Structure 1
């Protein structure tokens, strides 16, 4: 089997560092294309990662800077983590993940080889091969719980609800989408949106972006530092 040439760049330092006053276009496209992201919070050296619906807003009357909006139950682990430690990381990508066939069958069965792969699986694999040239983005920022009952909370909640209202019925969504809706209140006509976005116990989270690390599938990485005039630049939260 021909090996795909990969390259590796050290990810601990300032790799291809660029200081910008707006998000790079490729990161914006990634945020606009992706349906979900992974939110990492941490307290007492115990990290927690959650799969989240999100809304990207390039600017608003409440923030001239780009923000990412999410919602969570007031009693959730991530809510308590954010109160104790507002520093968060987000991982977002817009390609479809597909496991390629292994060279040998594993005891558990492993991935099917080419001779066992259905035509549909082959099509999906080919589609993924075409998409895999896109980036993933790790975004570091500061999260805050918007004041309950405020106009700001109402605005961000409405934007988030609108961004997560789809024409597609839940029955035709990918399994991951259906599973997340089930966990967050599926079974309602709105697919659970009223439960996980508009419910009385739901808090609105706004993440203000500090820096971004982009990575392509060959291991190439770049650092993007988002700054305002007069604010010292930082990479991965370190000035």
Structure 2
């Protein structure tokens, strides 16, 4: 039998399970820093993974519990899966995909805004901020569709659109060098398009894994759906 590495930790069951009433700070930081998440859906025992823009909201006028907002084309595979099976799993980490600042978001601590920051300074800021986090988070929850044309849909769509409108100068240096000035990362198509549907994920539990191999499980004590499953 091969020798088990010193940083190995059994994770088939619950590891250091904790019941919490709000998301742990390191999970919130991970959600706020990461640029994308991976959404896993499943139907008929066929899993499907999608790379998604997202918006994390700790609370809203429509939900006292934290939610994750996404949008999708109504004819997408993930949409078909969600209608059949609303249980989803999300993977988010910010080790290599640090999100650029949005128009309404500035780094804390008096850092200069993007209009006063050189390309090198922007690159170093992104690298240094990305290095702060040392975990990845797997989030399990239930997805629901927000009723089309409702005030709730407008609220979440506006929040999601604002969170995915990035400064042209303060973002990821490598991304902006590779894209044309008109590139919007698919925002107009995947977020602002008239046909897209708004998806909410209500968080049930979280598993974090750190860079040393440590695993911790969290369960939200107030976990539950704040909206009807699949908008019904």
Q: Which runs of 4+ in 1 moved over 6 A?
A: none
Any gaps of 5 or more consecutive residues in structure 1? 98-122, 232-239
The alignment's C-alpha RMSD in Å is: 3.0
User: Is the CA contact 1:133–1:216 (under 8 Å) kept in the aligned structure 2?
Assistant: no
Task: Decide whether aligned partners of structure 1 residues 144 and 187 sit closer, same or farther in structure 2, where only a CA change above 3 A counts.
Answer: farther
Q: Could you tell me which residue of structure 2 aligns to residue 222 of structure 1?
A: 216
2-structure distance, mates of 1:172, 1:187: 13
Q: Please report the TM-score for the alignment, with normalisation by the length of structure 1.
A: 0.72
1:48-74 CA deviation, whole Å, 9 max, x = no partner? 111111100000011100000011111
Looking at CA atoms only, which structure, 1 or 2, has the larger radius of gyration?
1
Shift of 1:154: 0.4
Classify 1:133/1:171 alpha carbon distance in 2 versus 1 (closer, same or farther; 3 Å): closer
Q: Deviations over 1:166-198 (max 9, x none)?
A: 1126996544x899xx9xxx9856553222112
- C-alpha distance in 1 between matches for 2:195 and 2:54: 18
Q: In 2, Cα distance between the equivalents of 1:156 and 1:214?
A: 27
- Paired with 1:204 and 1:15, the residues of 2 have a C-alpha distance of 33
Aligned runs of 1:61-210 on 2, under 5 Å? Answer: 61-96=61-96, 131=131, 134-168=134-168, 173-175=173-175, 188=182, 190-210=184-204
Q: How many residues align?
A: 193
Secondary structure of 1:136's aligned partner: strand
Gaps of 5+ in 2: 98-122, 225-232
- Tell me, in whole angstroms, the C-alpha distance in 1 between the residues paired with 2:177 and 2:202: 29
TM-score (structure 2 length as normaliser): 0.74
Does 2:7 align with 1:7? Answer: yes
